[in-house]
């Protein structure tokens, strides 16, 4: 797949087929992604690849935390405490687009909760990646990890797979570290669903909007 096509057509996939992904294919994706840039070539990203029994164990544990009403305790704040415009409107539009595609009404709390819980099961993707970073590293290295994560998503498309980067999988990082036996000094950035997309699922039948280049760009001669 040509790189600009991979970028333009990438989207967060929320429905996957029950088709396994070969370990070699996952390694090929990471082989491509590892060429991401990083300050002084620090290469701060660390990845845990989970599937089958471990994937299900993690999913059940995270879903249980949510079902029990436990407050999220992320290693960092992904969203601002107080969200303002234009970000508030974009957030609302994003949620509305998803739930409209799924035909879930705003007041249908039960179905909205059921849809949210699918996050912890990574929408039935056969593979989930968890991305970690050493706690001693600073903001710049988190930026580097973002470029690596984007590389993973684009490389996956090149190999015929789809992804969904998931902040929800980082809501209970202590649970993830405990199950994977990862040291507390490794901070959990996010998770990512990976697999063969179910393109026929209603959740795939919408796209979020993007601002025009003119909106976010200033030119200086």
Domain edges within the chain: 3-203
CA–chain centroid gap for 181, Å, is 21
What pLDDT score was predicted for residue 205?
87
Model pTM score? 0.95
CATH architecture for the domain at 3-203: 3-Layer(aba) Sandwich (3.40)
**112-136: per-residue pLDDT in tens?**
999 999 999 999 999 999 999 999 9
152 closest CA partner among 192, 105, 125: 192
What pLDDT score was predicted for residue 106?
87
User: Average per-residue pLDDT in the chain?
Assistant: 96
* Tokens describing residue 206: 């919408």
**137-160: per-residue pLDDT in tens?**
999 999 999 999 999 999 999 999
Beta-carbon count within 10 A of 115 CB: 17
In the predicted model, residues of the chain with pLDDT beneath 70 are none
């Amino acid at each position: 797949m040509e790189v600009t096509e991979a970028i333009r057509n990438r989207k967060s996939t929320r429905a996957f087929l029950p088709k396994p992904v070969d370990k070699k294919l996952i390694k090929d994706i990471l082989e491509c992604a590892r060429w991401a840039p990083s300050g002084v070539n620090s290469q701060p990203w660390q990845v845990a690849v989970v599937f089958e029994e471990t994937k299900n164990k993690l999913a059940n544990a995270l879903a249980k935390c949510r079902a029990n009403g436990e407050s999220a305790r992320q290693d960092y704040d992904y969203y601002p405490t107080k969200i303002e415009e234009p970000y508030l409107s974009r957030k609302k539009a994003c949620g509305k687009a998803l739930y409209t595609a799924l035909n879930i009404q705003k007041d249908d709390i039960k179905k909205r909760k059921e849809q949210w819980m699918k996050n912890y099961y990574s929408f039935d993707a056969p593979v989930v990646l968890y991305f970690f970073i050493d706690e001693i590293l600073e903001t710049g290295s988190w930026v580097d990890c973002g470029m690596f994560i984007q590389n993973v998503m684009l490389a996956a498309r090149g190999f015929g797979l789809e992804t969904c980067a998931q902040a929800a999988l980082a809501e209970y990082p202590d649970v993830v570290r405990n199950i994977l036996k990862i040291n507390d000094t490794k901070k959990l950035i996010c998770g990512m669903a990976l697999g063969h997309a179910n393109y026929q699922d209603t959740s795939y039948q919408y796209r979020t909007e993007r601002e025009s280049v003119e909106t976010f760009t200033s030119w200086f001669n």
